[in-house]
Structure 1
Amino acid sequence: MKALQGVEGRVEWVQEPSPTCDVGQVRIRVAAAGLNRADLLQKAGLYPPPPGASQVLGLECSGVISEVGPGSSWQVGDRVCALLAGGGMAEEVVVDGRHVLPVPDGMSLAEAAALPEVYATVWLNLFQLAALKPGEKVLLHAGASGIGSAAIQLCKAFGNPCWVSVGSAERLAYCEALGAQGGVVRNGDLDSLRDLGPFDVILDPVGGNYAELNLKVSALDGRWVLIGLMGGREAKLDLAQVLGKRVQLLGSTLRSRDDRFKADLFSDLRQHVWPLFAEGRLSAQLAKTFAIKDAEAAFAELASNKVAGKLVLLIDASLR
């Protein structure tokens, strides 16, 4: 099979051996794969896959099941999307059948490729780890990103007013159209978030240079969920504020979680989140698709930090 590898800071579409399909697994003929910042980091040699995971890029994909291992309830021909520790940007992938969900009715495979990583990330971090309750206020940094787009929609669906920090006025307008109450542009006055808070939960893919701000705008018993380090790995914190406000700092990653954890997470998604797509309350927010031959351009666009929503690579355009 052909697959996309990160090689010395660039991507190459190369020949790879086809994986075997074992007990509980399914083989997916890949239609499309979503792009994530983790792919950018892996391409640059900064984020190696977990032990035992594929070296091929891609943490999520969509496609059609072409083989079913013993013990799986899926059927050949099912249209699905999947969460992966790696390997999605390939002609085919083998994955634990418990990490697969059906493509929502009426949705294309290209759109479905933009769902698994972001909705799993938001559900895990806001609703499971931070135990977000209806009515609590949420701050989403990088609010126009794929994760931010999913978070805004889920907050709206579950009765949580949310605000964002973003990179431009255009992206702020995008977030407000999705359901955000408002927010700030990061090259302006971020401290004005204090006038919008305090916030019960902060979803933070930035880290470093936002850490001091996060403490200032946290509510009493606030939960600050750190999911990325776009703003650096070091920060100076006033620990008196952590104590005084009883702030919980939760560090969270999804890729390295074990199979059982991801299976339970996907079971929750299927029960609580997937029905909302059929109701029209959630969407993929697919910003743009790229043919696999244009993968380098897709990665460059993601790296520009100007994308509102998700980018997707089309692996097999014959699959819809």
Structure 2
Amino acid sequence: MKVNILLLICVVSGILVACEGGQLRKCFYEKTCPSAEDIVRDVTWNHVSSNPRLPAKLLRMHFHDCFVRGCDGSILLNSTANNTAEKAAVPNLSLSGFDVIDDIKEKLEQKCPGVVSCADILALAARDSVSFQYNKSMWEVLTGRRDGTISLVREALINIPAPFFNFTQLKQSFARKNLTVHDLVVLSGGHTIGVGGCPSFSNRLYNFTGKGDQDPSLNATYAELLKTKCRSLKDNTTFVEMDPGSARNFDSSYYNVVKQHKGLFQSDAVLLTNKGASNIVAELEDLNKFFTEFAQSMKRMGAVEVLTGTSGQIRKKCWAVNSS
């Protein structure tokens, strides 16, 4: 009876879900690997329980994956003798958590060989890592992605939004992925967890316009505090919380930080330079509103340029393309 009820839920859900993201759908693995999503969650939660920094890392990895060739797991591929992969791009050098994805993949290959894609594993693990704090799924992840076979360092440099982007550049970057200004502001809320390296923002402290000046839009008191952490433009080893005092709590406090002109990156600060975006920042200070909107924007981002059906492949190892 329980199995029949689950099947009914999946069928009904499949009818109700809009056809965004090609053939992504609920319960994609219900017949081919029924325990797939449970395995991803259990392994992810086990890792997060001993490493609370993982949610920010896996969320960022998923974001960087989707902005280059879509959510196809290309960020997971290693460089080879003949190709330098996305991992080697400057924005990705600080990524970590690849071992978690490999651990999940190994468990799934033992249970259901050749069935669950690395792209789906990353999308689910990003969600599940953030969800650990609340002991429930914080957003819905439709599945059915297949894995890409191409990963190019230059494409990461071109497509991943930079922390020093102005509002127009950010808007254009998101628009290329069919994501709106609303999605831009909502997904920026991911900065409520994690840290940023000094090179990503220290120009705002010491050389904003190339004249040894400070970014006037940055809260002066906060800037002085940051200078005690990042002592010069040459500091490339220090990391600072993006959401001071709440960097391990997935909540809406990021938006309050931004409103106080304490956003760490220029890309945070510029959300206040556009009236529409600034209004959204104010709305998202409400925790329930943020959770609702973040869930919807993550669903849209997770469907960007996905490979489905017979496109791509199901990689046996997430770090390497299957040999023919």
TM-score grouping bracket, smaller chain normalisation: under 0.3
Structure with the bigger RCO (C-alpha within 8 Å, sep 6+) is 2
Larger fraction in helix: 2
Larger fraction in strand: 1
TM score, norm. by length of structure 2: 0.26
